[in-house]
Amino acid sequence: KVSEAIALYERALNVIPDNEELLSRLGNLYNQKADYAKSAELYKKLTELKPGNAWYYNMLSDAYRNAKLDDKAAGVWEELMKKSNNPDIFIQAANFYNNQNNIDKAILAVKKAIELKPDNTAYLQTLEPYYVRQEKFSDAEAVCNKVLASAKDVWMKDWANSELINIYQKQNKLAELAAKFEKELAQAPKELSGYRKLADLYQRGSEPDKAIAVYEKAIAAGLDDRDTNNRLLDLYERANKLDKAEAQIRKIIGIAPQEMYLYERLANLLNTAGKKEDAKKAWAELLAKAGNDASAFSRYGDRLN
């Protein structure tokens, strides 16, 4: 009963006309009713009441766009950017321009956000895909290199390296990037990230044997952590190198004997390799550790069946 709800909120606003919560709820209801002109009127008032709230500008712009008033939708951001020093406003404007497929303006808006807050690497993450969409690959690569130089978080560096692989793959230049990664690895053979990005590149280029060799080299160099061992196990399985996969998972079980799922994974691997009796032994070991876990017994019954 949207109309009835709207009527109640309208009556409430006659009493307290500048109540933010009532205005916001009523704006949402008019959106539900697809009365975008009325919704825009309410969100316009909210932007005047709360000029620091970027969300209301988003909603106002969306209301204009839904009402097929694209010029007014764009005008929200153009007017706002003339007077704002809030970098998030420029990011929101970039999102709007991106949705309008106006990537040139999206790029300019993000660059302004970066200018206002240069230490925010998330803004660089927003900028890079826009360059890729325009096939400005050298600009996209420069953004990735900037992230690699400034980011402190490992996951951010992983993102940048993944995007570099994407950029070179789109240009059919993976071999060129592989040579660069190999050179960097030779200069820093104790840096695990160097092995990971090179292995990821080889996987992206459908060269699993080369990726396997990279992780084997990492372990030989003493970088024998759990994640590296897990990645190597996954690669052995995908490449159908089942004997090596078996040896690898037994090694991981030795590292983490308390992790029940590893025994089941070993049993499944042995079964795939045609070693059914060995698979049963792996299940027996699992069940001995599982105690009264009925689901484990049930899964083993399914396997036997």
Q: Model pTM?
A: 0.78
Percentage of the chain exceeding pLDDT 90: 71
Which candidate, 14, 86, 29, places its Cα nearest to that of 59?
29
AA identity, residue 280: K
Buried b (16+ CB within 10 A) or exposed e, 75-97: ebbeebbeebebbebbbbbbbbb
Per-residue pLDDT tens over the stretch 57-100: 989 999 998 988 889 999 989 998 998 888 989 999 999 999 98
Q: First vs last Cα of the chain: how many Å apart?
A: 55
Query: DSSP 3-state assignment of 150?
Result: helix
Mean pLDDT of 35-48: 91
* pLDDT bracket for residue 233 (50, 70, 90): very high
What is the tens place of the pLDDT at every residue in 146-157?
A: 999 988 888 999
CA 139 to CA 133: how far, in whole Å? Answer: 11
From the CB of residue 70, how many other CB atoms can be counted at a distance below 10 Å? 12
- Across the chain, mean pLDDT equals 92
Dihedral sign (CA 130, 157, 111, 78): positive
Could you tell me the two tokens for 39? 């919704």
pLDDT tens sequence across 132-145: 999 999 999 999 99
Which structure tokens are listed for 282? 């792996």
Task: Please tell me the distance from the alpha carbon of residue 287 to that of residue 291, in angstroms, as a whole number.
Answer: 7
* Alpha-helix residue ranges (DSSP H) falling in 84-191: 87-99, 103-116, 121-133, 137-150, 154-170, 174-187
Would you say residue 186 has pLDDT above 90? yes
Over residues 248-257, the mean pLDDT reads 92
What length is written for the chain? 305
